[in-house]
């Protein structure tokens, strides 16, 4: 990665263990696209309720040459996001899939459809077959 990972903690105290986990997982993204230009990770505790297990929200912004990818996980999607490490893991899995798709598109491995008329045509021989029978 050309630039260091930027990690932002919102509505919670910065944790050295969570920071180390985010940096470790961000370093692994170089395997899927070697030309990453920047990575910004936001870890947020959306609500401060008086109950335990407040769900965490993680958002990852990656900048590639000619593209910007944004992925993350919201707490409403999973009850398991009461653990910040699981929320970080799921967000990095999502951004990894996006990164792999972007790499496939840049290599040209994605099937390109021909530019044709959206309506098909039936040949004259086929029409005669239908009329006869």
Q: Output the pTM of the full model.
A: 0.72
Is the CB of residue 39 less than 8 Å from the CB of residue 62? yes
Q: Is residue 76 part of a domain?
A: yes
Using CA atoms, how far residue 19 sits from 28, 40, 46, 108, 123, in Å, is 15, 12, 18, 35, 64
Q: Is residue 29 part of a domain?
A: yes
The count of structural domains within the chain is: 1
Q: Is residue 133 part of a domain?
A: no
Task: Kindly give the confidence (pLDDT) of every residue in the chain, 133 residues in length, as a single tens digit, with 9 standing for 90 and above.
Answer: 556 889 999 988 888 999 999 999 998 888 888 788 889 999 988 766 555 556 788 999 999 888 888 888 666 655 666 788 888 999 999 999 998 888 888 777 766 666 666 666 666 666 566 665 5
Q: Is residue 71 part of a domain?
A: yes
Q: What is the pLDDT of residue 35?
A: 82
Q: Is residue 15 part of a domain?
A: yes
Identify the domain containing residue 106 by its residue range: 5-111
Q: What is the pLDDT of residue 41?
A: 94
Q: Is residue 122 part of a domain?
A: no
Q: What is the pLDDT of residue 61?
A: 93
Q: Is residue 126 part of a domain?
A: no
Angle formed at CA 79 by CA 74 and CA 81, multiple of 5 degrees: 55
Q: Is residue 46 part of a domain?
A: yes
Q: What is the CATH number of the domain that holds 11?
A: 3.30.160.100
Is the CB of residue 44 less than 8 Å from the CB of residue 10? yes
Q: What gap in Å lies between CA 64 and CA 97, rounded to an integer?
A: 14
Q: What is the pLDDT of residue 21?
A: 93
What b-and-e string marks burial along 26-44, b requiring 16 or more CB atoms within 10 Å of the CB?
A: beebeebbeebeebbbbbb
Q: What is the pLDDT of residue 11?
A: 86
Q: What is the pLDDT of residue 112?
A: 66
């Amino acid at each position: 990665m050309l630039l260091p990972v930027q990690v932002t903690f919102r509505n919670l105290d910065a944790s050295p263990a969570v920071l180390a986990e985010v940096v470790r997982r961000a370093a692994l993204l170089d395997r899927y696209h070697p030309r990453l230009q920047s990575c910004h990770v936001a870890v947020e505790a959306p609500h401060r309720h008086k109950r335990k297990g407040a769900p965490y929200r993680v958002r990852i912004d990656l900048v590639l040459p000619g593209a910007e990818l944004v992925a993350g996980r919201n707490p409403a999607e999973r009850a398991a996001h009461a653990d910040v490490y699981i929320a970080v893991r799921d967000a990095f899995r999502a951004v990894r899939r996006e990164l792999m798709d972007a790499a496939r598109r840049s290599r040209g491995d994605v099937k390109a459809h021909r530019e044709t008329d959206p309506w098909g045509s039936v040949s004259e021989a086929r029409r005669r077959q239908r009329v006869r029978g």
